[in-house]
Amino acid sequence: MTSADALAGAVVRAWTFVYTVGAGASIREARRDEIASDLFEHARGLADEGIESRAVAGQMLARCFLGIGADVSWRIQVAFGQRRAVEEGVQMSERVKRNWWIPSAIALIGGGIVFGFLSYRNRIDEGWDPSLLDSAGTVLTAGLVFVVLPIWALVVRRSHPGWTLVMLAPAIVISLSPLLWIDEAVRDFEPILVLLAAAIVTLVGALTNLAQASVSDGAQPSAAA
Amino acid sequence: MRRREGALIPLEVAVLAAGLGLRGAGEPEFHGFSLAKAIRDGDRARRLTAHGTLYKALDRMERMGLLESRWEAPEIAAAQRRPRRRLYRVTGQGERALDEARETAMARSIERGMA
């Protein structure tokens, strides 16, 4: 680069520096590097074509000035994109804060089905000979306690947090019952600890959900006000 | 310029046409300045596309899936003592969009001729 196109290049770089200030680091560096590359190729390419340095400088400045409107509108778009990303991030963290316990409730449902099936089979192995009515009753009760009510509870967790706790209670209480004979239960079947953990986390989650809902209801301005 | 849904604006058509022209000339990947020169030569224009206009369009076209880009390896740029280049290439979607834009333009010019 000669002095004229070096000066023009410095002006363009300065403008690029100005309009990219505050943009995300990767976006900012990408645009600055891309303009630096363009300026270099411009100076070299036109010098190879035998175009005078002052003419190259003039072209560089013209390309810069004629693109200022597009630069500014691009920068505005970037700013909006960043704000949207931040807002989406906040929404996501809000969602995580509200729903962190859902996986444990799902584990409780899955664990309930597995342990229910295993204990049913155990009892059969131990000589229990249920009638059709007994079998149907057992399956329906287990299905109600470990599948229907918990799923329903999860669906209405925001609108009816109190009912969510009530509907989860049977599954939680049954899953926590091995705590009464924990040594024996763990000795017989170690994975029972997973069910216990899921029940405890789900209980805490359902209570937190109830507290969060009460707080956000309290924060709502009343319709009468 | 207000964009009709699914339509390309003239600069985007010029970018895709120039990019495919460079590919035809044995340069499947191109950087911003080589593209600006190809557009100028293709349009027989006197001026190179402005920085802001060009790079904003490239950014938008990449998000639309019409172009793909990558930064060249820094070692290559260092060996040639120049800033590293961002290399673009026209995607299949870009080629199809250009074909559609040309067909639409042709159909419109025929309609105008018949009117």
Task: Establish if A197 belongs to a structural domain.
Answer: yes
Least confident window among A27-36, A55-64, A138-147: A138-147
**Does A86 or A35 have the greater pLDDT score?**
A35
For the cut 90, the answer to whether the pLDDT of residue A186 exceeds it is no
Substitution target in A37, A48, A73, A78 with the highest count of B β-carbons within 10 Å is A37
Q: Counting runs of H as helices and runs of E as strands, what totals does chain B give?
A: 5, 2
> Do A8 and A35 fall within a single domain?
yes
Degrees, nearest 5: CA angle A213-A214-A218: 115
Mean pLDDT to the nearest integer, A195-216: 83
- Please choose, from the candidates A97, A81, A107, the residue with its C-alpha nearest in 3D space to the C-alpha of residue A26: A81
> Do A113 and A72 fall within a single domain?
no
Measure B49 CA to nearest chain A CA, in Å: 7
Q: What is the pLDDT of residue A99?
A: 85
> Do A104 and A180 fall within a single domain?
yes
Task: Establish if A224 belongs to a structural domain.
Answer: no
Q: Compute and round to an integer the Cα radius of gyration of chain A.
A: 33
Within 8 A by CB and 6+ apart from A134, the residues are: none
> Do A68 and A48 fall within a single domain?
yes
Q: Where are the domains of chain B?
A: 10-114
Q: What is the pLDDT of residue A215?
A: 67
> Do A44 and A153 fall within a single domain?
no
> Do A83 and A188 fall within a single domain?
no
Tokens of B46: 């006197």
Q: What is the pLDDT of residue A175?
A: 84
User: What's the pLDDT tens digit per position in B12-68?
Assistant: 999 999 999 999 999 999 999 999 999 998 877 778 999 999 999 999 999 999 999
Range of the domain at A170: 100-219
Arch. (CATH architecture) of B10-114: Orthogonal Bundle (1.10)
Helical H segments across A67-160, by residue range: 68-99, 102-125, 132-143, 149-155
Q: What is the pLDDT of residue B3?
A: 62
Q: How far apart are CA B113 and CA B82, in angstroms?
A: 50
B70 vs A: CB within 8 A = no
Q: How many domains does chain A have?
A: 2
Last residue within a domain, chosen from A46, A72, A93:
A93
Substitution target in A33, A34, A42 with the highest count of B β-carbons within 10 Å is A34
| Mean pLDDT for chain A overall | 83
**Measured in whole angstroms, how far is the alpha carbon of residue A31 from the centre of its chain?**
29
Mean pLDDT to the nearest integer, A196-205: 88
Substitution target in B30, B41, B51 with the highest count of A β-carbons within 10 Å is B51
pTM: 0.59
> Do A77 and A136 fall within a single domain?
no
Measure B64 CA to nearest chain A CA, in Å: 15
Measured over the CA atoms of residue B49, residue B52, residue B55 and residue B57, the dihedral's sign is negative
> Do A61 and A127 fall within a single domain?
no
Q: How far apart are CA B88 and CA B54, in angstroms?
A: 13
**Does A91 or A115 have the greater pLDDT score?**
A115
Nearest chain A Cα to B34, which residue? A41
Q: Which residue has the tokens 């895709």?
A: B16
For the cut 50, the answer to whether the pLDDT of residue A169 exceeds it is yes
For the cut 50, the answer to whether the pLDDT of residue A166 exceeds it is yes
Task: Determine the 3-state secondary structure of B89 from DSSP.
Answer: strand
B34 vs A: CB within 8 A = yes
Q: CB neighbours (10 Å) of residue B75?
A: 9
Measured over the CA atoms of residue A167, residue A168, residue A174 and residue A176, the dihedral's sign is negative
Task: Establish if A71 belongs to a structural domain.
Answer: yes
ipTM: 0.89
> Do A132 and A197 fall within a single domain?
yes
Q: How far apart are CA B59 and CA B66, in angstroms?
A: 10
Contact assignment for B49 to A63 by CB distance below 8 Å: yes
